[in-house]
Amino acid sequence: MRITTTLLLASLAISGAAQADMYVSRDANGGYVLSNVMRPGRHYERVIREPASVAAAASFTPSSPQMIASAPFAEVVQAAAVANQLPAALLHAVIDNESHYNPKARSPKGAGGLMQLMPETARELGVADVFDPAANIQGGARYLKRLMTLFDNDMALAVAAYNAGPEAVLSRGKVIPPFAETQRYVPNVLRQYRRLQGLAQD
C-alpha cells in the first residue's frame, strides 16, 4: 500500500491535481481507487491533505438540511430514516429516482408506490397498500436497510441490489450488475444522495 501510495502521490504532483484531500481505498476486486471523497463501508488512507486556504474556500455547501426538509413527504422519510438508521438523503434519492415522488407510480413490472415495491417484497415487508406513502416509505426503508446490512454498508452495492435484486449482485461476486438500467441507476442515486448531503461529487 505504501509503495502504491508513493506512486500515486508522485503522479498527482506531476499532474498538479492535488487540490483537495485525496484518499486511497480498495475496490471489490482488490484494485486501488483514488478519490477525494469517502464512501460508507470502505477503509480509506489519506494520501494528500488539502491546504487550509483551499478548504476554507470550499467550506460553503448548499443548504442540504433545507433541501431535505422542503422535499415531498419529508417528515415520513425522516421518521423512516431514523427508524432504520439510514440517511434521509439516501431515501430521498431512491424515491426520486424510483417514482419522482409520485405515490401512485406503477412500473411495467408491477412495482408500485414511492419506492416502487414489488408485490412479493411488499408482502414480505408487511406493506398492505404500496400506494400508501407512509407504509411504502417505511417498507422501502426496511428493505434498503436489509440490503445495506447484506452488503456491509457498501451503499453502491445496496443501491444496485435495490434496483436489480440482491441475487443479481451476489451471483456476480458482489459487483454492480452490467444491466444498462442499473448502470445508470446507481450513479444517479449516489449523485443525488451526495448533493442532498452537501458532499462533493465522486
Q: Residues 148-169: pLDDT tens digits? A: 999 999 999 999 999 999 999 9
Asked if 19 and 100 sit in the same domain, the reply is no
Grid coordinates given for 170: 451476489
SS3 category, 103: coil
| Integer Cα distance of 31 and 46 in angstroms | 16
Of 20, 14, 69, 86, which Cα lies nearest the Cα of 47?
Answer: 20
Q: Which of 98, 120, 124, 181 is catalytic?
A: 98
Dihedral sign for Cα atoms in the order 106, 164, 80, 67: negative
Asked if 152 and 122 sit in the same domain, the reply is yes
Asked if 20 and 35 sit in the same domain, the reply is yes
Look up the CATH number of the domain holding residue 174: 1.10.530.10
Is residue 125 very low, low, confident or very high in pLDDT (cuts 50, 70, 90)?
very high
Q: Which domain holds residue 40?
A: 2-57
Domain count, the chain: 2
Within a domain: 178: yes
Asked if 142 and 78 sit in the same domain, the reply is yes
Of 188, 126, 177, which Cα lies nearest the Cα of 151?
Answer: 177
Asked if 91 and 181 sit in the same domain, the reply is yes
Q: Who wins on pLDDT, 23 or 195? A: 195
Please check whether residue 116 is in contact with residue 108, taking contact to mean a CB–CB distance below 8 angstroms.
no
Q: Residues 20-55: pLDDT tens digits? A: 556 567 666 776 666 655 565 566 566 555 444 434
Q: Is 120 a catalytic residue?
A: no
